[in-house]
Amino acid sequence: MYDVETGPAPLTYETLDRLRHQFQSVGSNATIASLCDELRQSGDYGALFYALLMQKRIELGVSPFPMGPASELPPELHDAYEDAIRHAGRTVGQLYLDQAEFGRAYTYYHMLGETDTVTQAINRYELKPDADCQPFIELALHHGLNPTKGFDVVLDRYGICNAITTVSSIDLSKKPEVFAYCVKRLIRSLSEQLQERLRGEIINHGETDPGNIGVSALMQGRDWLFADDAYHIDISHLSSVMQMSIHVTDGEDLTLARELCQYGQRLAPAYQSQSDAPFEQGYIDFEKYLDVLIGDRREAGLQHFRAKVAELDDVDHPYPAEVLVNLLLKVDQLPEAVTIAKRYLTRIPDGQLSCPGV
């Protein structure tokens, strides 16, 4: 999970020999204190954790070397030793946080049930351009300490393709707000990429730079952009982001997504996105769905999906009805959503539905 190949150098033979002589001359208490200092200065914080526990065991008058679980200590020492474990874990965890070694810090704070400390550090931290970002992504995104910031790092460092794969491969069903954030960022990134490339094509064609205008405006009156089956962004990226776009419910990102759909409809037939019903017409269907969410031609868009549901002749393939129920709920049409669910979805267990059950 984390990089364990690099780390501090072990204590030198000279240091060990000096500690041995110190033990012979002044005893264990001073020697273990010196050992802790040496480990702290050398950056060997993993060993420091165990040295701090050894120091406490010596103080408590028990064997410095644990030969069994802590529960085997005399009962009257349990509280003191547990406090020592917490102190050692916090000490070492903070030392790792001070060096932005979040993965190693997490090991100790997770043991103590205090991962909020790592979350707060991640929230404050600005990842340096040359820093290894994998431990940061692992904790922020996959362990959920700050999933939106973790996704930002994936998108900014590795690009749209990797970001699409990432958001498609992790379960965010219990964090819909995080999933919506990721989709919005993908929409904006893909839209910005497409705008930049269309502007470049227009300038190379000999026209004046149209400036920072939207995709629809850039395409207007420029059929030549699509001559010879031309396309300007990765078609698989476009298709994937459009399929995700139906999970966005508000904001200007809906308009950007609709413009991407309009771009997709201008592509050659070989590049048209097709999906399962009710999105078998690809970008046409996705645009109508987004129309409803935006509030533009809403009733026509709803009727478009009502018609698809009315064509259902196999209740074992209820996805069009599920899509319509979700869409109706998003635009506050609860009574009709209940009616559709009652008619088409009562035979399907709630856990197998992509929308709320009756």
Q: What is the pLDDT of residue 272?
A: 87
**Residue 1 confidence class, pLDDT cut points 50, 70, 90:** very low
Please answer whether residues 186 and 241 qualify as being in contact, where contact means their C-beta atoms are separated by less than 8 angstroms. Answer: yes
User: pLDDT by residue (tens digit) across 292-331?
Assistant: 999 999 999 999 999 999 887 656 678 999 999 999 999 9
pLDDT above 90 for 351: no
Q: Which residue has the higher pLDDT, 173 or 145?
A: 145
Q: What is the pLDDT of residue 23?
A: 81
**Residue 5 confidence class, pLDDT cut points 50, 70, 90:** very low
Residues 195-218: what's their mean pLDDT?
96
Residues 282-289: what's their mean pLDDT?
96
User: Can you say how many angstroms the Cα of residue 118 is from the centroid of all Cα atoms in its chain?
Assistant: 16
Q: Which long-range contacts (CB under 8 A, 24 or more apart) does 296-304 make?
A: 298/331, 302/327, 302/328, 302/331, 302/333
pTM of the model: 0.85
Backbone angles phi, psi at 303, to 5 degrees: -65, -35
Task: For helices 116-124 and 102-112, give the axis angle rounded to 10 degrees.
Answer: 150
Average model confidence (pLDDT) across the chain: 91
Q: What is the pLDDT of residue 316?
A: 65
